[in-house]
Chain A
Amino acid sequence: GDSVTQMEGPVTLSEEAFLTINCTYTATGYPSLFWYVQYPGEGLQLLLKATKADDKGSNKGFEATYRKETTSFHLEKGSVQVSDSAVYFCALRETLTQGGSEKLVFGKGTKLTVNP
């Protein structure tokens, strides 16, 4: 089945540093790609998405570009803030075999801590 591999954490940065979290995927076809964020004690929130090759998703200063040739969807932010401290999950949406349903396949997550 499809799978997602993302950079192992934890990642610790100082405020205003540049952030990159690597994500690569294995899939048949061309899945939609997502980054989700999970703050302590909370569920998942969609951060950004891209639905086809070369699409760039962006939100709250975060960006990721769907690269079909390298099967990657790396997350970047130019200047992180303390409030960005959270766990980040890369995911793809896979079409299920029955009834055209779709499910999300997640990476293991990368914990980011930003220090003042």
Chain B
Amino acid sequence: DAGVTQSPTHLIKTRGQQVTLRCSPKSGHDTVSWYQQALGQGPQFIFQYYEEEERQRGNFPDRFSGHQFPNYSSELNVNALLLGDSALYLCASTLDRGVGEAFFGQGTRLTVV
């Protein structure tokens, strides 16, 4: 079982650019949640996707958007990048809208310069 996989592992972007991060959930999982972990902080909930719809959003601006595909994989898009968007972005997969154990990927380290 491959578990949760995220790509890329690291990337560097310039302020104002756009970025797309990708996540493949654990086999059999249908729900994907995205979290932002700033340096020295705990992960913060961005949003959750289930049945290809955004189910709930945390306190993040509309520059953060996402998508879920029929195979349950997901993308996180961030537009107009700011220096403050530099963080580790974690994807977590679960069954049925978050019930049950969440499995995390290794994350994507985004640096905005």
Contacts and interface: CB of A to CB of B under 8 A. Distances in A.
A97 interface: yes
Contact of B98 (A44, A89, A101, A109): A101
Interface in B7-41: 31, 33, 35, 40-41
A43 B106 contact: yes
Interface stretch (B48-56, B60-68, B78-86): B48-56
A102 to B, nearest CB: 3
B41 to A, nearest CB: 6
Interface residues of A, number: 26
A99 B45 contact: no
A101 B104 CA distance: 17
A91 B33 CA distance: 15
A101 B42 contact: no
Interface string A21-58: 00000000000000010000111111001000000000
Interface residues on chain B, size class: 20 to 34
A99 B50 contact: yes
B107 A101 contact: no
Contact of A96 (B40, B44, B48, B104): B48
Interface in A67-116: 89, 91, 93, 96-109
B99 interface: yes
B90 interface: yes
11 contacts: A42-B106, A43-B90, A96-B56, A98-B55, A99-B55, A102-B99, A103-B45, A103-B58, A104-B43, A106-B44, A108-B42
